[in-house]
Structure 1
């Protein structure tokens, strides 16, 4: 029996027998208690009485789920109505009939439900989508939101626009390029040492960045030696370590290009141009979902390039214990049929830094190596 007088009063008359003292217990038939409550009110239940006596809301989770379902349905109606009014070439990307399901799969419906003004964010994203150019046309990203040239630089709005138009899942620059949208062409690009565009004079050992503006019409200096290799890496730490080792040992400047993350289509094309100029190209990335996608993009752009220490044996040589989970498909590493199975077995990412001694040895030797199974 509750200690509080108000709670004891709420239970009075519901329990047969002698009144209980505070703290005393008595076993009660739930069937008899339900019948007693029904006689006092058809909508009364033991749960309702217990919630009232304890001053707690009944079915709060159920009400919250109903509210979320109603809000999600409102987002669905807003999406389908607005998407149906988009220009034809954009409607093909957004697809009013499937856009809600697709955004829900990507986690965007939950994200919108947790946004203070989801309707306004969604409406703004749809307005941006409506301004996208016709196929073959181009537009400056800074002009898509009138009065705010930086609205699509970062944040939820640009990410939602890319998700709406099926352009997410790749680098943002590549996603915008797919839509005919030009980003700032002075930021980003490739970090390079040991190789330069034709006619450029770069001090030996210097590291520099080629921005997208220069990559758009790149013309590489051809190799002066036979069987010359250029090493393409994902992480700046590899290039930095190679440059530092060269300076310390006063050896030949390594030829290394760093994409600093997943490369854009323009950056992939610039790497492909190396092969066309006569260079042998070795490419690599981290052993994780993003790294494998990175590799597929580079190898698709430059089919003659080789995967550099990106095989199953290389992964096994550096894998360690961990708690991460890798979600991989069988086709994620077409350059090595054994790689995905062993990565699924261990389900732990391996980063380029884990293989750094072997990578530096290859760069120093001037040719890519690999472990053997």
Structure 2
């Protein structure tokens, strides 16, 4: 049975003289060199520089292993070939690295060995992906791109994630099997049918995330990613939370809050505002809508709250539904948190509804809510195209600001019926 420290290099060896405590300094220096070089045997290569100890007994113990006269504090270059020959007199397979491993009571060059194992495993994944891609239907092969899929997965951290999975081969095989079921362009399939016998297999977890990564559909809301693949996501959950605005022909009790699921958003037809000066306020956080719904309507603030909440990242369908408000004659004001995700939400809404305006998303609004922090905000200069000074200010203060921080001002706009600085 191989030794766990040196893979059996110590078989039949007499290690006792070499493991003399007076030689510990030498083997520790060699162990450090083995870790640094990723070479656990140390039988060849550049000489290893060691510093000779002050203790005479320690220097004397190295006689025969290091050539020449040994002076205290001297730096000496130890020839690995000569040291290998010296330790081999104690065992035919013995190496300097093997002795250093026993002296340190650990396997050497663990990081290099682990990297080599990961590289080998990654090569297996690459080969499997390349072979699999060749057998996929053409429309799926075009999605995956056999020449780029491995690079894409590695860039997104999926190779490491796969290698850390309990059964990497099984997970990759399941994902590939799902990919083979994707419909050709112009056709659609229910997501619950992609894994026969398990309609909930793609609800959450590593499997659906890997399928989206394989097909280049990650990095966007899951619903949008599946839609790109011709897969119908569950169209009854999620959607927009709304108060004060209704689809055409619907009867909603005044002041009621309700949710329009994706199924209804797909064919939305909004009731016109009735007057050209009416505003619809789009927010990210349900707390803003809840506060607006609870805010009493008084003689000084008679406007009915008209608020739409995306409850986080808006899907493309939700963005399109907001754009449909503009088409129906509504003035639309959009906002979200002052953080990387919130700025992305606002950009997506403005891209879908160019007639919309930002609502209290200026540098002044941010500074009114933010304090100086220590966060690292990963922002690009183009993340807030509506205000060129906003990103520099957020970088300087190094802290996000949330909609709740501006709640009094937001409620004032909602109850007034128009965003601040807009004519009534």
Mark the CA change 1:346 to 1:93 in structure 2 (over 3 Å): closer, same or farther.
Answer: farther
Say what the alpha-carbon RMSD is for the aligned residues: 2.7
Q: 1:56 aligns with which of 82, 93, 106?
A: 106
Mark the CA change 1:270 to 1:69 in structure 2 (over 3 Å): closer, same or farther.
Answer: same
Q: What SS does the aligned partner of 2:382 have?
A: coil
Counterpart of 1:40 in structure 2 is: 87
Q: Deviations over 1:76-116 (max 9, x none)?
A: 11122212322222222211111111111111111101001
Q: What SS does the aligned partner of 2:192 have?
A: helix
Q: Deviations over 1:325-347 (max 9, x none)?
A: 22222222222222223223333
Mark the CA change 1:139 to 1:366 in structure 2 (over 3 Å): closer, same or farther.
Answer: same
Q: Deviations over 1:20-63 (max 9, x none)?
A: xxx99735665469645532329766554232123211212221
Listed as ranges, the gaps of 5+ residues in structure 2 are 1-13, 24-54, 63-69, 71-75
Q: 1:149 aligns with which of 199, 203, 209?
A: 199
C-alpha contact 2:303 2:417 (8 A) present in aligned 1: no
**Structure 2 counterparts to residues 235-314 of structure 1, below 5 A:** 235-246=285-296, 251-314=302-365
Deviates most, 184-193 or 339-348: 339-348
C-alpha contact 2:302 2:416 (8 A) present in aligned 1: no
| Cα distance in structure 2, aligned partners of 1:350 and 1:44 | 63
Q: What SS does the aligned partner of 1:278 have?
A: coil
Counterpart of 1:159 in structure 2 is: 209
C-alpha contact 2:319 2:349 (8 A) present in aligned 1: yes
Counterpart of 2:233 in structure 1 is: 183
Q: TM-score, normalised by structure 1?
A: 0.88
Give the C-alpha shift of residue 149 in structure 1: 0.9
Q: TM-score, normalised by structure 2?
A: 0.78
| Cα distance in structure 2, aligned partners of 1:245 and 1:13 | 79
| Cα distance in structure 2, aligned partners of 1:364 and 1:25 | 88
Mark the CA change 1:328 to 1:92 in structure 2 (over 3 Å): closer, same or farther.
Answer: farther
C-alpha contact 2:22 2:58 (8 A) present in aligned 1: no
Q: 1:204 aligns with which of 254, 269, 279?
A: 254
Q: 1:11 aligns with which of 8, 19, 34?
A: 19
Mark the CA change 1:302 to 1:225 in structure 2 (over 3 Å): closer, same or farther.
Answer: same
Q: What SS does the aligned partner of 1:209 have?
A: strand
Q: What SS does the aligned partner of 2:251 have?
A: coil
Mark the CA change 1:66 to 1:370 in structure 2 (over 3 Å): closer, same or farther.
Answer: farther
Mark the CA change 1:256 to 1:24 in structure 2 (over 3 Å): closer, same or farther.
Answer: farther
C-alpha contact 2:282 2:309 (8 A) present in aligned 1: yes
| Cα distance in structure 1, aligned partners of 2:129 and 2:371 | 45
Give the C-alpha shift of residue 205 in structure 1: 1.4
Counterpart of 1:78 in structure 2 is: 128
Give the C-alpha shift of residue 370 in structure 1: 6.7
Aligned residues: 359
Q: What SS does the aligned partner of 2:242 have?
A: strand
Q: Deviations over 1:182-216 (max 9, x none)?
A: 11111111000111111222112111101111111
| Cα distance in structure 2, aligned partners of 1:256 and 1:300 | 20
Listed as ranges, the gaps of 5+ residues in structure 1 are 1-5, 16-22
C-alpha contact 1:314 1:370 (8 A) present in aligned 2: no
Give the C-alpha shift of residue 246 in structure 1: 2.9
Give the C-alpha shift of residue 297 in structure 1: 1.4
Q: Deviations over 1:95-143 (max 9, x none)?
A: 1111111111111111101001111111111121121111222111111
